[in-house]
C-alpha cells in the first residue's frame, strides 16, 4: 500500500467494520454507515471499496454457510487486518497533526 | 420468494463470478426477501434499482481497471485505434452517449417520447394479437378441438346450431371424433343469499369437459349419467365465481346452492384461467335432458364441439360429417332437408371476426412506429449535421469511419433502449386500458399479459427501430470532408447528401402518414355509417333493465303476470318516467336469436323445413309506443288484448313482404307451435316497422310480436 493515506470513504468503511465486530458483512456495513454518519451510501461504491481494501490487504474475509434467503449463497464476513488498523492509525495521526492549533478556525465558523 | 431470475442473471453477469460477487448477490437477495414482505412490486423495483446501481458501478470499475492495465502495457491510445472495435470502445461510446442525453434533455425527451409511443402502441397491439390469434386456446391439444355446426343451405347459413337429436346421431355415426358435446350459454339466478345474483352460465353435456381436457382445480367433473333428467342437480363453478361469491372456500364442494329455482350440489371448481365458452361463464350445469324431451328435431338450439379421434384430420372429419348429414336428410326429410355439416377448429371460430381487425390494427401501429422512426431519424440527422465539426475533430485525431459510425450508432441505440423500456411500461398500462375499452368485443381478453415472448418482441422492435432511425445519420457521418468541416464549423445544414437524405425521410414520412390517415378516415367513416343505420327503434331517452324472477316462486302464470304488472306500475310511478313497457328479449341485447317455425292458416307446407321462420317476442301492449316503433297498418295492441281473452299478434313489415306478399295481412291467422300438434291460432292485428334484432349490421329479420 506504500505510504498513501486512506480515502475518506475507505476510512468510514474500515471504522464501520470495526464497530460491527463479528457481524460485519455487506448489508450490516451499509446500515451501520447510514445510521452513524447519517448519509445515504451508494451500495456499488461500498462493495467496490470493500474489494479494494481487501486487495490492499487492509481487510480479510471469510465466507459463511450458504442460506436459502440468500439464494444459496453465504455471507462474506470481513474483519480489519493488522495493516488495516495501522493504516487507520496512520491516517488519524496525519489528520490530527494537520488539525493541531486550528480549533479557533472552527470556533469562528460556528 | 426469490428475485427475478433474469435480474439475478444480469447482476451476475455485471459483477462477475468472484467470491465478492457472490457476496453482493447474496446480500441483495437477502434484502429482497426482507423487502418482499412489505410488497412485491416495491421489492422488485428496489431490486432492479440495486442491480443497475451496483452492476453499473462494477462494470465501470472493472473496465476501467482493465483499460488502465492495457494502456499501461501498450502506449498506443486506445481511443482512436483503427483496429477492431472492442468492449472498451463500446463502453466509452456508451458513457459518451449517456452524457449526451443528459446534456440535451429537451432533445432526449422528444426522441425518447416519440419512440416510446411508437414502441408502446406496437407492443400493446402485438400482445393482443399474440394472445388472441397466435397462442393456442387454454385447453389440452386445443388444435384438435373442433366446432361443429349444422349448415342450413335453405337459408344459406353456414353456422347453425344443433338439436340434441342431431347431436345424438352425429355422435353415434361418426368415427372422426373421440367425443362430441353440446353447450349453450344462459343467464340464471343464484338465490339463497341476501341479494339474488344474476349468473352467466353454460348448459353442457358432461362430455364437454373431457373434450376440453382440463381437470378441475377442486372436486370432480360431470359424470355421464348426470346428463339425464333428475340426475342433473349438480354444478361446477368457475375459479372467479368461486373466489368472488364463495370466498375461495374449499369446503364448497358438496355444498347445496339455490340456482335457477332448484337446489343443486357444487361438485367441482375449475382452475384459474379456464373459460368456456366465453370469458363470462361463471358456472356450468348439465342439460339434464334426453333428445326426446326436446320435442322437434328441427328446433336447433345448442352449439357443438368435438375432439378429433387420434390420427384424424379436420378435412376427413368434414367429409364424414357431410356423409352423415346426407343420410340424416334422407331419414328425416321434414326436419333435416338442406341441413349439411360445417366444421372448423375451435380457435378459428373463437377468433373469426377479430382476426382481420387485429392484423389491420397491428399494421397501422407498425406504420405509426415507422413514422416515429422517420421523425427521429430526421431529428438525429439534423443533430449529426450540427455536430459536423466535432466529428471532423474526431476524424482528424485518427478516428476511422467505422469508429465514428459505431459511436453514432451506440448513441442512437441509447435513445431507442430508453424508448423501448418506456414503451413497454406504456404497453403494460395500455393493456389494462385496452381491456376496459374493448369490453367483450374481443375474445380471450382475460388471458392478456406481457410475457417473455412479448418482451422479446419489444426488444426486437426496439433494436430494429434503433437501426432504422440511426442508419441514415450514421451513414451520413461517414462522408466527412475534413478540410471543409473543420473550416466551416457547424454551418453544415442543408448540404448535398445530408439534404437529400432528409428530403427522402420527409417523403417517406408523408407517404406513411397519408396511408395511416386514410385508413383512420375510412374507419371513422364506417363507424359513422354504423351509427346512422336505422335500428327501427328510438334509442335515446330509453333505459332498460332486466328482471329474471325465480320461477318456482311464481308457479302460476297469474302470479308472474301480477309480479310484472306490479313492477311496471311501480317503475311508471317513479319521477321522470314517462311510460314503461316490457319484452322478453330486447333488440340488440344478445341472446334469443333462434327462430321458431310457424304456419299461416290455410297454407300447406311440404315439410317442417318449408314453414316460415320467425323471431318471436312477447310484449306488453304499449311496447311499440315506448320504443318508438312505427305502426304501418292495423292497430297497436290495447290493454284489453292483454287480458288473455284474445290471441292477437303483430308482425313486422319484412315478414309481410317475405311471407304474405300482396295479400292484406290484417285479420289473417298464424299458427304458433305451442304444444298442440296443429298449433294455436293468433290473429294479426297490425304490422309494425322492422327492427334490427340481432346485430346492427345484420338485416332486420322477419319478426312478430304478440301480447303476452
Among chain B residues, CA nearest to A61: B20
Q: What distance in Å separates the CA atoms of residue B523 and residue A100, rounded to the nearest whole number?
A: 83
Closest by CA position to B458, among listed B120, B130, B132? B120
Which H helix or E strand runs over B60? helix B40-73
pTM here is 0.58
Taking 80 as the threshold, does the pLDDT of residue B49 lie above it?
yes
B357 contact partners, CB below 8 Å, separation of at least 6:
none
- Which has more pLDDT, B231 or A15? A15
Over range A74-90, report the average pLDDT.
Answer: 91
Q: What pLDDT, on the 0 to 100 scale, is given for residue B77?
A: 37
pLDDT digits (tens, 9 = 90+) for B361-389: 888 888 888 888 888 888 888 887 777 77
Higher pLDDT, B128 or B474: B128
Between residues B243 and B157, which one has the greater pLDDT? B243
Cα–Cα distance between B163 and B666 in angstroms, integer?
Answer: 34
- Kindly report, residue by residue over B419-469, the tens digit of the pLDDT: 999 999 988 888 878 777 766 567 777 777 888 888 888 888 888 888 878
Contact status of A98 with chain B (Cβ, < 8 Å):
no
- What percent of chain B has a predicted confidence (pLDDT) above 90? 10
**Alpha-carbon gap, residue B428 to B120, rounded angstroms:** 8
pLDDT attached to residue B662: 78
Residue B32 has pLDDT above 80, yes or no: yes
B600-658 pLDDT, tens digit each: 877 777 666 667 777 777 788 888 888 888 888 888 888 777 665 567 888 888 888 87
Compute the distance between CA of residue B295 and CA of residue B241 in angstroms, rounded to an integer. 34
What residue in A sits closest to B31 (Cα-Cα)? A27
Q: Work out the angle at residue B235's Cα, subtended by the Cα atoms of residues B229 and B237, and round it to the nearest 5 degrees.
A: 160
Q: How confident is the model at residue B81 (pLDDT cuts 50, 70, 90)?
A: very low
Burial of B305 (0-12, 13-18, 19+ CB in 10 A): buried
Query: In this predicted structure, what is the pLDDT of residue B169?
Result: 87
The label of the residue with cell 341441413 reads B339
Task: State the nearest Cα–Cα gap between A108 and chain B, in angstroms.
Answer: 40
Cα–Cα distance between B326 and B335 in angstroms, integer? 12
Question: Quick one: cell of B117?
Answer: 409511443
Q: Between chains, do B29 and A54 touch, taking CB under 8 Å as contact?
A: no
Burial B26-41 (b: 16+ CB within 10 A, else e): bbbbbbbbebbeeeee
| CB-CB under 8 Å, A73 with B23 | yes
- CB within 8 Å of A4: residues ≥ 6 apart: none
SS (H, E, C) chain A: CCCCCCCHHHHHHHHHHHHHHHHCCHHHHHHHHHHHHCCCCCHHHHHHHHHHHHHCCCEEEEEEEEEHHHCCEEEEEEEECHHHHHHHHHHHHHHHHHHCCCHHHHHHHC
Element at B202 (helix H, strand E): strand B197-204
Cell 319484412 appears where? B654
Of A26, A63, A66, the CB nearest to B24: A26
Distance between start and end Cα atoms, chain B? 62
Give the separation between CA B597 and CA A9, rounded to whole angstroms: 91
Q: How many CB atoms lie within 10 A of CB A61?
A: 18
CB contact, 8 Å: A62 with chain B? Answer: no
The verdict on a CB contact (< 8 Å) between B27 and A54 is: no
Q: Which residues pair with B179 in a beta bridge?
A: B307
ipTM tops 0.90: no
d(CA B512, CA A74): 57
Higher pLDDT, B148 or B605: B148
CB contact under 8 A, B58 and A44: yes
Residue B32 parent element (H or E): helix B19-36
pLDDT band for position B269 (cuts 50, 70, 90) = very high
pLDDT, position A82 = 92
Residues in chain A, how many?
110
Q: What is d(CA B46, CA B706) in angstroms, rounded to the nearest whole number?
A: 67
User: Inter-chain contact A47–B58, Cβ cutoff 8 Å?
Assistant: yes
pLDDT band of residue B236 (cuts 50, 70, 90) is very high
Residues of B (362-381) whose Cβ lies below 8 Å from A: none
- CB-count exposure of residue A63 (10 Å: 0-12, 13-18, 19+): middle
Q: Taking CA atoms, what residue in B is nearest to A72?
A: B26
Q: Is the pLDDT of residue B76 over 50?
A: no
User: pLDDT value at position A71?
Assistant: 80
Tens-digit pLDDT profile for residues B436-447: 776 656 777 777
Distance of CA B404 to CAs B200, B364, B392, B531, Å?
A: 64, 35, 10, 57
**For residues B277-289, average pLDDT:** 86
Name residue B613's beta-bridge partners: B597
B8 CB contacts (<8 Å, ≥6 apart)? A71, B2, B25, B29
B26 to A75: CB separation less than 8 angstroms, yes or no: yes
Chain A residues in contact with B26 by the CB 8 A cut-off are 26, 66, 70-71, 73-76
Q: Which of B93-102, B252-261, B342-351, B388-397 is the least confident region? A: B388-397
How many angstroms separate the CA of residue A69 from the nearest CA in chain B? 5
pLDDT at position B237: 93
Which of A25, A44, A63 lies closest to B53 in CB terms?
A44
Q: What is the pLDDT of residue B607?
A: 66
Residue ranges of alpha helices (H) inside B75-158 are 87-103, 105-129
Name the phi and psi angles at B398, rounded to 5: 115, 5
Averaged pLDDT, B160-180: 87
- As a whole number, mean pLDDT of residues B173-184 equals 89
Would the pLDDT of B74 be above 80?
A: no
- Considering only residues B89 and B179, tell me which one the structure prediction assigns the higher pLDDT: B179
User: What was the pLDDT predicted at B702?
Assistant: 45
Q: Cβ–Cβ of A25/B61 closer than 8 Å?
A: no
- Residues of B with Cβ-Cβ distance to A49 under 8 angstroms: none
Contacts with A27 from chain B: Cβ below 8 Å: 27, 30-31
CB contacts of B57 in chain A (<8 Å) are 42-45, 47-48
Share of chain B above pLDDT 70, in %: 85
At residue B492, does pLDDT exceed 80?
A: no
pLDDT at B708: 40
- pLDDT for B478: 63
Candidate from A71-75, B51-55, B336-340, B553-557 with smallest mean pLDDT: B553-557
- pLDDT of B72 > 50? The answer is no
Nearest one of B151, B152, B228, B141 to B179, comparing CA atoms: B141
Amino acid at each position: 500500500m506504500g505510504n498513501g493515506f486512506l480515502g475518506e470513504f475507505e476510512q468510514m468503511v474500515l471504522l464501520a467494520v470495526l464497530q460491527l465486530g463479528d457481524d460485519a458483512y455487506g448489508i450490516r456495513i451499509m446500515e451501520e454507515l447510514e445510521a452513524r454518519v447519517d448519509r445515504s451510501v451508494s451500495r456499488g461504491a461500498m462493495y467496490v471499496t470493500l474489494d479494494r481494501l481487501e486487495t490492499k490487504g487492509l481487510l480479510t474475509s471469510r465466507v459463511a454457510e450458504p442460506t436459502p434467503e440468500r439464494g444459496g449463497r453465504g455471507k462474506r464476513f470481513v474483519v480489519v487486518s493488522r495493516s488495516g488498523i495501522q493504516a487507520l492509525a496512520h491516517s488519524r495521526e496525519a489528520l490530527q497533526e494537520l488539525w493541531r492549533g486550528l480549533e479557533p478556525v472552527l470556533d469562528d465558523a460556528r | 420468494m426469490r428475485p427475478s431470475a433474469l435480474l439475478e442473471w444480469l447482476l451476475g453477469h455485471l459483477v462477475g463470478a468472484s467470491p465478492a460477487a457472490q457476496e453482493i448477490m447474496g446480500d441483495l437477495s437477502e434484502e429482497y426477501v426482507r423487502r418482499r414482505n412489505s410488497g412485491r412490486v416495491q421489492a422488485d423495483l428496489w431490486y432492479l434499482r440495486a442491480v443497475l446501481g451496483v452492476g453499473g458501478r462494477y462494470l465501470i470499475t472493472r473496465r476501467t481497471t482493465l483499460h488502465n492495465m492495457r494502456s499501461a502495457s501498450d502506449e498506443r491510445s486506445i481511443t482512436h485505434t483503427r483496429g477492431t472495435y472492442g468492449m472498451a470502445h463500446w463502453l466509452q461510446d456508451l458513457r459518451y452517449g449517456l452524457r449526451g442525453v443528459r446534456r440535451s434533455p429537451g432533445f432526449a425527451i422528444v426522441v425518447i417520447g416519440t419512440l416510446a409511443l411508437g414502441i408502446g402502441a406496437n407492443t400493446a397491439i402485438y400482445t393482443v394479437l399474440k394472445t388472441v390469434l397466435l397462442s393456442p386456446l387454454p385447453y389440452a391439444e386445443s388444435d384438435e378441438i373442433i366446432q361443429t355446426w349444422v349448415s342450413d343451405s335453405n337459408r344459406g347459413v353456414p353456422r347453425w346450431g344443433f338439436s340434441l337429436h342431431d347431436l345424438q346421431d352425429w355422435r353415434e355415426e361418426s368415427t372422426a371424433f373421440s367425443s362430441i358435446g353440446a353447450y349453450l350459454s344462459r343467464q340464471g339466478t343464484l338465490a339463497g343469499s341476501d341479494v339474488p345474483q344474476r349468473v352467466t352460465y353454460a348448459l353442457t353435456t358432461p362430455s364437454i369437459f373431457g373434450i376440453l381436457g382440463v381437470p378441475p382445480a377442486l372436486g370432480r367433473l360431470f359424470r355421464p349419467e348426470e346428463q339425464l333428467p333428475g340426475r342433473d342437480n349438480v354444478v361446477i363453478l368457475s375459479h372467479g365465481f368461486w373466489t368472488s361469491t364463495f370466498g375461495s372456500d374449499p369446503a364448497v364442494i358438496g355444498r347445496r346452492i339455490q340456482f335457477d329455482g332448484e337446489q343443486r350440489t357444487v361438485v367441482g371448481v375449475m382452475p384459474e384461467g379456464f373459460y368456456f365458452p366465453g370469458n363470462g361463464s361463471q358456472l356450468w350445469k348439465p342439460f339434464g335432458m334426453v333428445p326426446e324431451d326436446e320435442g322437434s328435431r328441427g328446433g336447433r338450439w345448442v352449439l357443438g364441439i368435438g375432439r378429433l379421434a387420434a390420427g384424424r384430420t379436420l378435412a376427413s372429419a368434414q367429409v364424414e360429417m357431410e356423409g352423415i348429414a346426407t343420410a340424416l336428410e334422407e331419414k328425416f326429410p321434414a326436419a333435416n332437408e338442406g341441413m349439411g355439416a360445417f366444421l372448423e377448429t375451435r380457435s378459428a371460430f373463437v377468433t373469426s371476426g377479430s382476426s382481420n381487425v387485429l392484423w389491420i390494427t397491428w399494421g397501422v401501429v407498425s406504420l405509426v412506429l415507422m413514422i416515429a422512426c422517420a421523425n427521429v431519424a430526421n431529428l438525429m440527422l439534423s443533430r449529426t449535421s450540427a455536430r459536423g465539426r466535432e466529428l471532423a475533430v474526431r476524424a482528424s485525431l485518427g478516428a476511422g469511419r467505422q469508429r465514428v459510425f459505431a459511436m453514432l450508432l451506440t448513441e442512437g441505440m441509447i435513445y431507442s433502449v430508453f424508448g423501448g423500456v418506456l414503451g413497454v411500461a406504456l404497453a403494460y398500462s395500455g393493456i389494462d386500458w385496452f381491456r376496459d375499452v374493448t369490453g367483450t368485443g374481443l375474445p380471450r381478453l382475460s388471458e392478456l399479459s406481457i410475457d417473455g415472448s412479448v418482451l422479446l418482441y419489444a426488444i426486437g422492435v426496439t433494436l430494429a427501430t434503433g437501426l432504422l432511425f440511426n442508419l441514415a445519420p450514421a451513414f451520413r457521418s461517414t462522408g466527412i470532408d475534413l478540410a471543409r468541416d473543420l473550416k466551416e464549423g457547424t454551418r453544415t445544414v442543408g448540404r448535398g447528401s445530408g439534404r437529400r437524405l432528409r428530403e427522402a425521410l420527409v417523403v417517406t414520412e408523408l407517404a406513411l402518414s397519408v396511408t395511416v390517415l386514410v385508413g383512420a378516415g375510412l374507419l371513422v367513416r364506417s363507424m359513422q355509417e354504423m351509427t346512422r343505420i336505422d335500428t327501427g327503434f328510438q334509442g335515446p331517452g330509453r333505459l332498460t333493465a332486466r328482471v329474471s324472477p325465480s320461477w318456482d316462486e311464481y308457479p302460476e302464470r297469474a302470479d308472474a303476470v301480477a309480479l310484472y304488472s306490479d313492477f311496471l306500475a311501480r317503475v311508471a310511478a317513479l319521477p321522470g318516467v314517462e311510460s314503461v313497457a316490457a319484452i322478453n328479449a330486447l333488440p340488440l341485447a344478445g341472446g334469443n336469436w333462434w327462430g321458431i317455425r310457424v304456419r299461416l292458416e290455410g297454407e300447406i307446407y311440404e315439410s317442417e323445413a318449408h314453414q316460415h321462420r320467425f323471431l318471436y317476442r312477447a310484449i306488453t301492449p304499449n311496447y311499440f309506443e315506448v320504443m318508438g316503433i312505427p305502426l304501418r297498418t292495423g292497430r297497436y295492441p290495447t290493454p284489453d288484448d292483454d287480458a288473455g281473452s284474445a290471441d292477437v299478434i303483430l308482425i313486422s313489415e319484412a315478414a309481410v313482404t317475405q311471407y304474405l306478399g300482396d295479400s292484406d295481412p290484417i285479420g289473417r291467422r298464424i299458427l304458433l307451435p305451442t304444444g298442440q300438434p296443429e298449433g294455436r291460432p293468433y290473429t294479426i292485428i297490425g304490422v309494425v316497422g322492422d327492427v334490427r334484432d340481432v346485430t346492427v349490421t345484420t338485416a332486420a329479420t322477419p319478426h312478430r310480436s304478440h301480447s303476452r
